[in-house]
Every structure is written in C-alpha cells, then in structure tokens.
C-alpha cells in the first residue's frame, strides 16, 4: 500500500518540479512511511511513498520495464499477481522483482487497458509511456483506493489525497457550494465532484488517458443486475451458498498474500465474524484480531466480540474508545477525510487503526461490502415495509413495523404513531420512482441544508427530484427489481463515497494500515448481483444466504442477533468534555467568519443538545456536518486549524531521465 502522485506538463516541467514533488509526497508520507521514490524527465514527475507489504526488498517504486519506456506508481494490491505473472512469463516477459507492481506494469505492456478486467485487487495507479508521451491512470472497480486530479493552467496533477494537490504553487482550496449541498443530502459528493472547486476524483471503475492531443476518461467496469428473470442464478439456494462460500474462501486466500503479518477486525457482527471464520479455515494458525468498544453501552458490542474471539480461538486485542477520544481526534479525522462527515463513526475506526499500527500490524482483513452485496442494511427493509404500507396509506398499524428496525433510536420508541407516520411517510405512494428506497434518507438528511447561510442557499438550485443522481444511473437501472435498485444506489453512492473513504482508506492509511475486503472481490460482487433477491433478503431476514453459509462456523448468537448499525456518540463526544475548537467554531464569531451557516439556526441546535432535550438523528448529523465543515474550512481554506507541518521525506530514491527531448 502506498501513496502516489504525479505532475505532467507536455510543454515542459517547471524548474522547481523536483522540490514540489518532494513536498507533495511528504504531505502524505503516513500512507507510505517505509520509503519513497521519484522519477522525472522533461515532461512528467511520478512519485510514491511506500508501505512495504509485498516484496519488501525489491518492490521499490517508481518501477519501469527493462527498456525504461513504461514507468509505474501503484497504490494498492493486485491480489492475483502470482497467477498473472505465470501467464505473462508464458508470453515471454521477464521479471526482476517479486512485486505485484511489476506484474501490473507488464500486464499493461502486454494488454493495454484490457488488463484492467484481469485484475483482482484494490488499486489506483499511473503509467507513463516515455516514447508516446502518454499518461494512463486507473482506479479499481468500486473505488477502494482514492485518486484525485486537477488541471492548473497546462499542468495536470494527480495524487492519492487532495491535500497533496494544494502543495503545488498557485492551487488554493475553495469550497464548491453545490458539492456541499450534495454532501448534506447523500452523505457524499456525486463522482467525479469533490467538495473543493476544480478538484476531481477519477471515478471507480474508470481509467484516464492523457496524450499530447487529448484527454479521455472511460468506464471499464460497471455493476449490473439482472434485467430479466432468465438472467438470475438458476440453482437452489444451497447451490448458490456453496458457490458463494467457494468465492469468499478464495477471496480470503488471495487477501492473505503478504510478506508481513495479517490481522482481522472483529466487530462482533455477522460480517467480520464470517471473514474471521473463513481466515481460520484457510490459515488455521493463530489469528490476531482487533476490536473497538465504547464506554456508552448504547454503542458497545464488546460481549459479542469476545464471544466470537473465544469461539474461533483468536489472539484478541480489544480497544475502548471514549467519548473524550472521539472529540479529541475528530479534527484530525476530518483533516484526513478531506470532506465533511455527518457522523462521528470514522473516529473510532481511526483510533482502532492507530492501535493496530502500534501493535506492528500493517494489514487487516475486514467485513465491509457484505451489507451492500447481500442486502444487510435496514434501508432495504425500510423500503419493503414502506411499499407494503403504501398499499393502505391510511393504516394505523403498518407503520408500526418500522419501529422494530430502529430500537436504538429514542425518537421512535413508545407509541407515538403520528411521529412514525410523519417521519416515514414522505412520498410513501411514489413507488414508481427509481429512488423510492432512498427518498426517506435523502429527504431527512436534506433538512441540514436549512442551516446554510442565506448566501449559500441563494447560490443553490432546488433539486427535489434528485437530478444529480439521475445523471449517474446505469442505463439498465429502470429494468432492475426493487432490491437491486436500492443496492446499486447504496453501493455506488454511500459505499464508494463514504464507507470506503471516510470510514475506510483515509482513517486506516492515516495510521499506515491497509484494509482488505473479501466481500469486495469482484467475483463475489458479480455473483451476488445475479442471485435472486429472496436469497439475500428473505422476507425481512437480511443476508439470509450468508447466515446459511456460516451456520455452525460462528456462534449461533451472532447469527440470530438483530443487526446493530455501527454508530458512535455525537453530542456526548463534543459537549461532555471541554473541547475548545467546538465552542470556537460553533460560536457566532466562528460561524460568521466562514459565512457557511446561519448563526441563529446553529445556536438553536447547540442550545437544544446542551439542554438534553430529545436529540434526533437529524440533529446529530447536522451537528457533526456543521462542525466538520467548519473544521475543513479552517484546515484547508483559512489554514488556521489543524494543519501539520511537512515532515522530512524519508528514504527517497530519485531517478532522473535526461533522454527526453
């Protein structure tokens, strides 16, 4: 795992390019603290900071083909590199390292962009063709690894993190108000937009090619569900379970490939318990597992974590995250996330990866992706119940089914039927809409937009039909079933834009830890998409097929326990202890300085939560979103907030090519 960056100017690089590249790499050195490298010629500079996991002794980057024509920097892992290497050797390729990076470079040399469909991995990479003066960039299918870019005059820049781009002379951070609006509706921006003006991400499953004459961006992979009943898996659920189990086992086997120890996260839920059990089957030796608990019992799952660890006989390290920890680390997490967050949940994941790194572990296997691929989220059940209710919209009893989905939310407890109908009844009968499953979430989150200042509200265009999402829909979207539509939206928006970023790559790599996700093996994704909906959501029994697969492999209590969404405290984290930045940024002075939010509205919210009135989830999201946006402004725009000094770039190997003319 690494961080990568590049500067391209096809007229000629500026004289200070080498020093600028060193600053760019130093800015994200935590992504690769083991060593660094820079290649540059007249037109391009490629840089890498490396977290050594595979081929520690000879896998340094940038790396070239023997003829010095192609040069590569890679962030990520190509898990099937051993199999690919064997095929490439048969076609005459010679290798000088044992790294997956060299295999990827030769695969590109042999097959061009078609090699992308051969890769089983999580990656973002760039390849420079010296002879053609051509730069090729690509990002993995679902966006596990990040890749950002921008143009500054005639110079093209890319990097694993946005903050690296701001090290280039003349590039200043400025919020994109329409992007802020998207975040406060969908929890993320619509790819390729980011929260900053003129800074873009290379969208998941896409590649980019820049030549002296053109810039082309193309999609090489898309998530597709059956459009016709004949396209679904034809076998029984037992046969589907056997095949899924085989795919998951092989996905785990590939993700255990490393020249350093591999551990696992153990949350106490079904997904992480399943991956841990599969690891033990593939590699029976003692596995080290890590988990996080909370001082507040409302969020804590420690007893389940301990039970699974004892059942599977793992060497377990539990870690407790306090409310004080969440408030303390929140600014640092926002700095790494580079986007406003509507939850505090990324902070405990940051603390957990910090604990993992302190235990000298660089790689962890986790259960992300199971909820999306196998229909585990409550939002899928919510859509089913709402559609059932829509047939009799005046029913007093059907809305009560929804109360069972959220036993942890205080506002839905008791017998307040009117509250349930008001909250869940939004566009209840609009069942023909492609966004029916997500109407409720997006509408409720959109309430946070009311906290924006009048100036920003005036700059935004009302979008009641979610046209920005409509533009990104797959061409076959309308032909899919109800569950598949909901899954696609959750995967392509929430999972890619939030879960794998703010709660995945960014908080793990901040502590030099690489996460690996067996459920996001593309073979698992594509097979899961073909399974009949009933195999995944059986009535209201989520991840039905995974439970059948894991029966007898993990504790029965885990299989039968109600799903508990991963959450973390918000109000208690910010106001139970004294965090000066909270009071400063939410004060009238702090709010007027940024000009982003209506001070009176925010002060009402702060007063409400301080008075211990019933605080809704929307209140919690608004508080986290406003505070994180304020933080981001001070960190990247005014540069008064948390903004660590550049460290010295370590162990830098420099390759200078004087042959360019």
Look over the chain and give the mean of its residue pLDDT values, rounded to a whole number: 93
The answer to whether the beta carbons of residues 47 and 167 sit under 8 Å apart is no
What does the DSSP 8-state code read for residue 283? -
**Amino acid 420: pLDDT:** 67
What does the DSSP 8-state code read for residue 434? T
**Amino acid 130: pLDDT:** 96
> How far is it, in rounded angstroms, from Cα 287 to Cα 316?
8
The answer to whether the beta carbons of residues 106 and 95 sit under 8 Å apart is yes
361-383 tens-digit pLDDT: 999 999 999 999 999 999 999 99
CATH of the structural domain 2-221, one choice from 3.40.50.2300, 3.20.20.80, 3.40.30.160, 3.60.20.10: 3.60.20.10
Neighbours of 385 (CB within 10 A): 19
Mean pLDDT to the nearest integer, 70-82: 98
Task: Domain ranges for the chain, please list them.
Answer: 2-221, 380-488, 576-637
Q: What pTM was computed for the model?
A: 0.96
338-366 tens-digit pLDDT: 999 999 999 999 999 999 999 999 999 99
Q: For the chain, how are helix, strand and coil distributed in percent, rounded to 5?
A: 45, 15, 40
Which of 74, 186, 76 has the alpha carbon at shortest distance from 508?
Answer: 76
Asked if residue 55 has pLDDT above 90, the reply is no
CA 452, 458, 464, 466 torsion-angle sign: negative
**Amino acid 615: pLDDT:** 87
Neighbours of 399 (CB within 10 A): 22
6-29 tens-digit pLDDT: 999 999 999 999 999 999 999 999
What angle is formed at CA 351 by the lines to CA 556 and CA 158, rounded to 5 degrees? 110
The dihedral formed by the CA atoms of 457, 462, 466 and 467, expressed in degrees to the nearest 10: -120
pLDDT over 90 percentage in the chain: 83
**Amino acid 464: pLDDT:** 66
**Amino acid 607: pLDDT:** 94
The answer to whether the beta carbons of residues 53 and 260 sit under 8 Å apart is yes
412, 539, 565 from 420: Cα distances, Å: 7, 22, 20
């Amino acid at each position: 795992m690494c961080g990568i960056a590049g500067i391209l100017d096809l007229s000629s690089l500026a004289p200070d390019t080498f020093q600028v590249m060193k600053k760019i790499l130093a800015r994200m050195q935590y992504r690769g603290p083991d060593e660094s490298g820079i290649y540059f010629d007249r037109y391009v500079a490629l840089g890498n900071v490396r977290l050594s996991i595979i081929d520690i002794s000879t896998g340094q980057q940038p790396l070239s083909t023997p003829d010095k024509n192609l040069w590569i920097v890679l962030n990520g892992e190509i898990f099937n590199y051993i199999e690919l290497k064997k095929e490439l050797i048969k076609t005459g390729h010679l290798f000088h390292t044992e790294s997956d990076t060299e295999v990827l470079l030769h695969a590109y040399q042999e097959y061009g962009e078609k090699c992308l469909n051969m890769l089983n991995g999580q990656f973002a990479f760039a390849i420079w063709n010296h002879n053609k003066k051509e730069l090729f960039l690509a990002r993995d299918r679902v966006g596990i690894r990040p890749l950002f870019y921008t143009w500054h005059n005639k110079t093209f820049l890319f990097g694993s993190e946005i903050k690296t781009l701001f090290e280039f002379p003349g590039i200043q951070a400025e919020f994109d108000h329409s992007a802020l609006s998207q975040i406060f509706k969908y929890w993320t921006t619509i790819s390729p937009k980011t929260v900053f003006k003129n800074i873009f991400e290379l969208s998941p499953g896409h590649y980019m090619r820049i030549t002296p004459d053109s810039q082309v961006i193309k999609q090489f992979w898309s998530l597709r569900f059956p459009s016709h009943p004949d396209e679904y898996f034809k076998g029984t659920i037992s046969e589907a379970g056997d095949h899924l189990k085989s795919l998951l086992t092989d996905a785990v086997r590939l993700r255990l490939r490393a020249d350093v120890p591999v551990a696992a996260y153990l949350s106490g839920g079904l997904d992480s318990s399943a991956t841990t059990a599969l690891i033990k089957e593939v590699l029976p030796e003692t596995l080290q597992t890590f988990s996080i608990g909370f001082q507040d019992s409302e969020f804590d799952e420690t007893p389940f974590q301990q039970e699974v660890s004892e059942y599977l006989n793992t060497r377990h390290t539990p870690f407790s995250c306090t409310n004080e920890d969440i408030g303390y680390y929140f600014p640092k997490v926002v700095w790494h996330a580079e986007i406003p967050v509507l939850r505090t949940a990324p902070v405990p994941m940051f603390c957990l990866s910090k604990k993992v790194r302190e235990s000298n572990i660089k790689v962890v296997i986790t259960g992300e992706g199971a909820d999306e691929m196998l229909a585990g989220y409550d939002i899928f059940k919510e859509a089913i119940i709402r559609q059932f209710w829509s047939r009799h919209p005046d029913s007093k009893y059907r809305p009560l089914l929804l109360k069972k989905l959220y036993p942890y939310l205080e506002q839905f407890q008791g017998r307040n039927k009117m509250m349930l109908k008001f909250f869940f009844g939004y566009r209840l009968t609009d069942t023909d809409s492609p966004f029916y499953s997500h109407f409720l979430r997006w509408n409720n989150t959109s309430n946070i937009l009311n906290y924006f200042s009048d100036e920003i509200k005036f700059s935004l265009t009302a979008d009641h039909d979610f046209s920005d999402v409509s533009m990104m829909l797959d061409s076959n979207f309308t032909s899919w079933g109800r569950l598949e539509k909901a899954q696609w939206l959750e995967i392509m928006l929430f999972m890619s834009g939030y879960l794998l970023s703010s709660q995945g790559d960014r908080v793990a790599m901040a502590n030099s830890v690489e996460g690996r996700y067996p459920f996001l093996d593309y073979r698992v994704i594509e097979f899961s998409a073909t399974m009949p909906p009933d195999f995944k959501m059986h009535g209201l029994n989520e991840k039905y097929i995974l439970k059948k697969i894991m029966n007898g492999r993990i504790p029965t209590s885990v299989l039968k326990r109600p799903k508990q969404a991963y959450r973390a405290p918000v109000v208690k984290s910010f106001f139970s202890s004294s965090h000066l930045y909270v009071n400063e940024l939410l004060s009238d002075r702090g709010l007027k300085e940024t000009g982003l939010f209506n001070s009176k509205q925010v002060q009402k919210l702060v007063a409400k939560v301080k008075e211990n009135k019933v605080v809704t989830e929307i209140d919690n999201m608004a508080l986290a979103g406003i505070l994180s946006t304020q933080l981001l402004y001070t960190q990247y725009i005014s540069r008064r907030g948390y903004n660590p000094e550049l460290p010295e770039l370590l162990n830098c190997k420099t390759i200078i090519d004087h042959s360019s003319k």
